[in-house]
């Protein structure tokens, strides 16, 4: 039996020391009991390992709790990010619908100012080549659109229909070099012919040098060619100069319409004057013809 204790004397010695230290620390917890001389030293000695152990346990617990919490937070953040993306897309769509409604309201208000029949249309394509400046709209012969019809917008004159299909039409912009519009300078009532040059500048031809045309003057349609109503804004004079070798003034005009942002337009519907009268006259001739043929037969 003694051999068993002597063989493990180190273990029992440390165990005994630990029991004594715990007893002393426990006795020191009572404030009414007097502390032994070595009790304070033992308490200080064992306070560091105990504090370190407590700190490690707290950190491990906090780390595990924080990890679980962060996993949950990451899941919620992922869901919130997806919801934000959906809300951003929905907001963009709603803003686009709002802007479209505003443009359509402007078209309606602009349409009600004229006695002409105006057909709303949307831009559905543009000519990718640089030879011609044209756009494609979603109205064609099925809606009564004819070649030569004028195309306008609340901002000003857009162009002229040059080709039609069943459900679409091609519009030649006023900025094209092949486009011509009869115009009037609003302030001085000087007349001229507007020709396209590029998307940002047009020119007015056949204005003599002595005519009163100044930068900033508004250019409007004359209404004489039965394509556009009179008084529709085309643009404003950007620059004027006199050609020393000619009789006419050089007048550069900035179009009022930004063709790169053109979404909705109004087509000025052309009326076929005289068609109804011709039909009526033809019907009258047909009614009279049998009566005229019967007269010779009644003579005999």
Q: What is the pLDDT of residues 35-49, one digit of tens each?
A: 555 555 655 555 666
Convert 54-87 to b/e letters by CB count within 10 Å (16 or more is b).
eeeeeeeeeeeeeeeeeeeeeeeeeeeeeeeeee
Contact (CB, 8 A) for 125 and 134: no
Q: Which domains does the chain have, with CATH numbers?
A: 118-271 (2.40.10.340)
**In the predicted model, what is the mean pLDDT of residues 146-171?**
94
Q: What is the pLDDT of residues 80-98, one digit of tens each?
A: 877 887 778 778 778 877 8
* pLDDT in the model for residue 249: 92
pLDDT band at residue 282 using 50, 70 and 90 as cut-offs? very low
CA-CA distance, 142 to 188, in Å (whole number)?
42
Sequence-distant (6+) residues with CB within 8 A of 203 are: 194, 195, 197, 250, 251, 252, 253
Threshold 0.75, pTM exceeds: no
């Amino acid at each position: 039996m003694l051999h068993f204790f002597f063989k493990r004397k180190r273990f029992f010695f440390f165990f005994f020391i630990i029991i004594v230290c715990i007893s002393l620390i426990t006795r020191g917890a009572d404030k009414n009991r007097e502390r032994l001389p070595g009790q304070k030293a033992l308490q200080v000695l064992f306070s560091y390992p105990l504090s370190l152990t407590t700190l490690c346990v707290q950190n491990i617990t906090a780390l595990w709790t924080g990890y679980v919490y962060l996993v949950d937070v990451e899941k919620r953040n992922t869901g919130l990010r997806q919801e934000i993306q959906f809300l951003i897309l929905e907001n963009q769509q709603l803003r686009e619908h709002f802007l479209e409604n505003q443009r359509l309201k402007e078209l309606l208000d602009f349409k009600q100012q004229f006695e002409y029949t105006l057909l709303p249309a949307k831009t559905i394509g543009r000519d990718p080549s640089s030879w011609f400046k044209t756009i494609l709209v979603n109205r064609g012969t099925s809606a009564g659109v004819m070649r030569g019809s004028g195309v306008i917008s609340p901002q000003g004159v857009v162009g002229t229909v040059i080709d039609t299909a069943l459900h679409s039409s091609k519009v030649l912009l006023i900025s094209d070099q092949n486009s011509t519009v009869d115009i009037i300078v609003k302030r001085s009532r000087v007349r001229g012919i507007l020709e396209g040059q590029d998307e940002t500048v047009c020119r007015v031809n056949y204005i003599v040098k002595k005519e009163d045309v100044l930068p900033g003057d508004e250019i409007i349609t004359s209404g004489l060619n039965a394509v556009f109503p009179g008084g529709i804004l085309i643009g404003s004079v950007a620059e004027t100069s006199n050609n020393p070798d000619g009789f006419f003034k050089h007048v550069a005009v900035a179009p009022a319409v930004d063709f790169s942002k053109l979404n909705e337009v109004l087509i000025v519907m052309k009326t076929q004057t005289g068609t109804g009268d011709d039909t009526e006259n033809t019907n009258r001739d047909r009614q009279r013809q049998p009566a005229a043929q019967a007269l010779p037969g009644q003579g005999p």
